[in-house]
Amino acid sequence: MERGRLPDPDPARLHGLLEERTADLQRVKAEYDNYRKRVHRDRLAMGEAAVANVLRTLLPVLDAVDRACAHETMTPGLREIADTLRTQLGSLGVEAFGEEGDPFDPACHDALTHHVRADTDRPICTKILRAGYRHGTRLLRPATVEVTGPRPPTGNPLGPDRGELRSGTTADGDRPSLTCAGRDHRHR
């Protein structure tokens, strides 16, 4: 028998084998295309996460510059450092947020205190203690705020001691945690 030749040259059988091999090839090609797309998507996500991590590490520097600007005499050098840092971070897509009067959003604000006022219908940020930052849609750091709003409703699922610090342990018993206003802050 010659190499590459089928023992049965029946055209119907050959056509069936050709269709089977073509279907196999199409399936393998589709799997490979999906793999390439998944790898590309994963690379983009890893790159975005790496950029966000680098930007997050620069936030304390920005905080230090802001404190220096607020408490020191503005020298030309300090002004240039502050302006350059803000401009460069802004060009990378970093946006500061958190203004007095903003509606309180627990997804992007960290409330340290809650002041009760009967004449308000919803919680609002009344003092910005530390600005929050975003990079595109990614939250780099929540804004730390004081909130003023109505008394929490009765039957609050967070319990009657809302806003008080309680020490406890995690479900796995490993790390102690502090619970404040319904948020779990784990010690690292």
Return the structure tokens found at 12. Answer: 């119907």
pLDDT(83) > 80: yes
pLDDT of residue 171: 40
Residue pair 125/143 in contact (Cβ under 8 Å)? The answer is: yes
pLDDT(184) > 90: no
Q: Are residues 85 and 17 in the same domain?
A: yes
pLDDT of residue 23: 95
Least confident of 121-125, 159-163, 171-175: 171-175
104 in any annotated domain: yes
Question: Cα–chain-centroid distance for residue 114?
Answer: 25
pLDDT(124) > 70: yes
Residue pair 1/7 in contact (Cβ under 8 Å)? The answer is: yes
Q: Are residues 64 and 82 in the same domain?
A: yes
More confident residue, 126 or 176: 126
Element (H, E) at 80: helix 76-91
In angstroms, the first-to-last Cα distance of the chain is 72
Q: Are residues 49 and 105 in the same domain?
A: no
| Residue that the structure tokens 């090609």 belong to | 29
Q: What pLDDT, in 10s, does the model give residues 7-60?
A: 667 888 888 989 999 999 999 999 999 999 999 999 999 999 999 999 999 999
Q: Which domain holds residue 141?
A: 94-151
Q: What is the pTM of this model?
A: 0.63
Tell whether the torsion through CA atoms of 106, 111, 113 and 117 is positive or negative.
negative
pLDDT(67) > 80: yes
pLDDT(150) > 80: yes
More confident residue, 43 or 178: 43
Tally of domains within the chain: 3
Mean pLDDT of the chain: 82
Q: Are residues 48 and 119 in the same domain?
A: no
Q: Are residues 32 and 85 in the same domain?
A: yes
Residue pair 66/83 in contact (Cβ under 8 Å)? The answer is: no
pLDDT of residue 12: 86
6 in any annotated domain: no
